[in-house]
Amino acid sequence: MKIAILGDIHANLDALLTVVEVLQRENVDAWVQVGDIVGYGPEPSACIDVVRELGCVTCLGNHDAAVLGRLDTSYFNTVARAAVHWTAPQLRPADREFLNELQLVVQRDEFTAVHGTLHMPEKFGYVLSVVEALESFEHQQTPLCFVGHSHVPAMYLRREESPRDIHVVPHSEAEISYRGFDRLLMNVGSVGQPRDEDPRAAYGIVDTDLQIASIRRVHYDIESVQHKIREAGLPEVLANRLALGV
């Protein structure tokens, strides 16, 4: 089975469509989206439509929860909070219904999807190091787990015989074999707002037959999104950061 993984989209339709076009050439069998379809960007409804049309296995992100009023935004920074307040009234009833049905953790036979961490998914914590990866591995019941939230790509691998000896692949782009490992925790970065100083959209592919996991990058029309952000009246910093990948 070939699985396509979409990280945080954040209402960036230009980036999303570019990534989807590339992935559709790969003849993938399943699509996964790890939350935060909305927030920050200018086209939330259109991005929800794409995720629905692809039939993505999707979990709830913190921005998705926030626009529904299900998450207190007091811990959000000023810019993130402004984007939530802009996004909420833009959503159609069908968008709200779709987001409301998303679960914090979604598990299938081969993989699990969660926005933040598996050990406390409702807290939307970040997997930023081996420490958080170890905590999530304790709750991971499937060979693969896909996470998002940090917007920074990384892969963590564990062997059953040495569960605390974690192998880390902290690269912006990477292709690895996970053969011989019993668990892979994979953060594919962000489709719509990368924060690893690489402005290209990030996405992932896993081939479960070959046991190969890949994080890939692709250029998209950043200037088009920047124009839409400014036209929408969203904070200027949201346009500027896209070109910097921060």
Q: Is the pLDDT of residue 75 over 90?
A: no
| C-beta separation of 117 from 145 below 8 A | no
Task: Please write the tens of the pLDDT for every residue from 127-181.
Answer: 999 999 999 999 999 999 999 999 999 999 999 888 888 999 988 899 999 999 9
What CATH number did the domain enclosing 89 receive?
A: 3.60.21.10
| C-beta separation of 90 from 99 below 8 A | no
Whole domain around residue 139: which residue ranges?
A: 2-244
**Residue in 42, 35, 54 with CA at minimum distance from that of residue 13:** 42
Domain count, the chain: 1
In this prediction, residues 116-135 reach a mean pLDDT of 95
In this prediction, residues 82-107 reach a mean pLDDT of 98
Percent of the chain at pLDDT > 90 equals: 95
Q: What pLDDT is attached to residue 171? A: 86
Average pLDDT along the chain? 96
Task: Please write the tens of the pLDDT for every residue from 185-217.
Answer: 999 999 999 999 999 999 999 999 999 999 999
In this prediction, residues 58-68 reach a mean pLDDT of 98
The SS3 of residue 204 is strand
Give CA separation, 118 vs 71, 139, 192, 229, 231, in Å: 18, 6, 23, 33, 38
Q: Is the pLDDT of residue 93 over 90?
A: yes
Task: Please write the tens of the pLDDT for every residue from 8-42.
Answer: 999 999 999 999 999 999 999 999 999 999 999 99
Task: Please write the tens of the pLDDT for every residue from 166-179.
Answer: 999 988 899 999 99
Q: What pLDDT is attached to residue 102? A: 98
Q: Structure pTM?
A: 0.95
Q: What pLDDT is attached to residue 193? A: 97
Query: Tell me, what DSSP letter sits at residue 219?
Result: -
Percent of the chain at pLDDT > 70 equals: 100
| Single-letter amino acid, residue 38 | V
